[in-house]
Amino acid sequence: MNKRAFIRKGILASATLAVGPSSLFSFEGARSFSSHIPVVDTHLHLWDLSEMDYPWLKGKGLPLEKNYSLADYRKATKGFPVSKMVFVECGRAPEQYLQEVDWVQGLSGKNPEIAGMVAYFPLEKGAAAQEDMEKMAERNIVRGIRKSFMPGNSGYFQGIALMKNFHWVCEVNIGHEQLGDFLDMVKKFPEQVFILDHMVNPDIRNQDWNTWEKALMPFASQDRVYCKVSGILTRTSWNWELPDIQPYFDTVMEVFGPDRIMYGGDWPVLLRAETLHRWITSFYALSKALSMEEKRKLFHSNAELVYRI
């Protein structure tokens, strides 16, 4: 899609959808639209403050500084066809990373819809991490690793080189300012699958689309890099409407195509901005113009392929 067509599309979206997602896409409408397409949520967080330490939560207050269970998630997604979930590490104390894996594997044993996990691992340990990786791989719930991006760190690069031995994805949560360095790293590991969380955290609140879009475009040719449509409502203003986020969705569709995009809920972090109900409903609205086959890819089949679930 050229820029003129993209801008025109954004203008049309704003004109036709200015009433906002709630009135356009009711709960019942979303459910009927999606009832025949199962959803894999690729970005689920759960935590129990009595089980592990979460330094980043201290002082946050409600809604985040409390326990969130699978029962709470089921209540939040009631009526939506969520068939599987991928648990993503929750920022527990770094030394507790294996404890978190064991906790999630225990949850999965009783609740098999938790089909995979993206765990934390200190990749900067480099080649010396082989034994620890093997120990973590004994927990068959693990499908990938998420660790803060560390450009220029040789140990971090060595750790990523080891991941192919376990068929793990490498997941990162970064901003567009880091995409240049990230692209350089991606090119060093042509066999490694990478996943960009939260659409690279665009500054939707200030509508900084141009800078973000320009940084994303080089990834159109990187067929081992995937993008999660998740976490973007925490980047909007409190009175957001669907036209505010539609151009960002359209851009990732242009850059990554329907084969490299996945849905993610980012619950309960999402609650800082919005309910999961409204996010899922909005995701359906964002993807309304796609074909049925494209919807299946975004909703579940891409995730099932990438995470092997």
Per-residue H/E/C for 99-122 = HHHHHHHHHHHHCCCEEEEEECCC
Distance CA 268, CA 40 (A): 16
**Mean pLDDT value of segment 172-188:** 98
pLDDT digits (tens, 9 = 90+) for 88-141: 999 999 999 999 999 999 999 999 999 999 999 999 999 999 999 999 999 999
pLDDT digits (tens, 9 = 90+) for 223-240: 999 999 999 999 999 899
pLDDT digits (tens, 9 = 90+) for 38-90: 999 999 999 999 999 999 999 999 999 999 999 999 999 999 999 999 999 99
Helix axes 27-34, 276-286, angle to 10 degrees: 60
For residue 81, what are its two tokens? 């066809």
> Domain spans of the chain?
3-307
Question: Which class is 3-307 in CATH?
Answer: alpha beta
Distance CA 201, CA 232 (A): 7
Regarding pTM above 0.75, the answer is: yes
- Cβ within 8 Å of residue 14, ≥6 positions away: 243
Q: How confident is the model at residue 208 (pLDDT cuts 50, 70, 90)?
A: confident
| pLDDT, the chain, mean | 91
Q: How confident is the model at residue 207 (pLDDT cuts 50, 70, 90)?
A: confident
Query: Which residues on neighbouring strands pair with residue 86, listed in sequence order?
Result: 116
Q: What are phi and psi of 25, to 5 degrees?
A: -125, 85
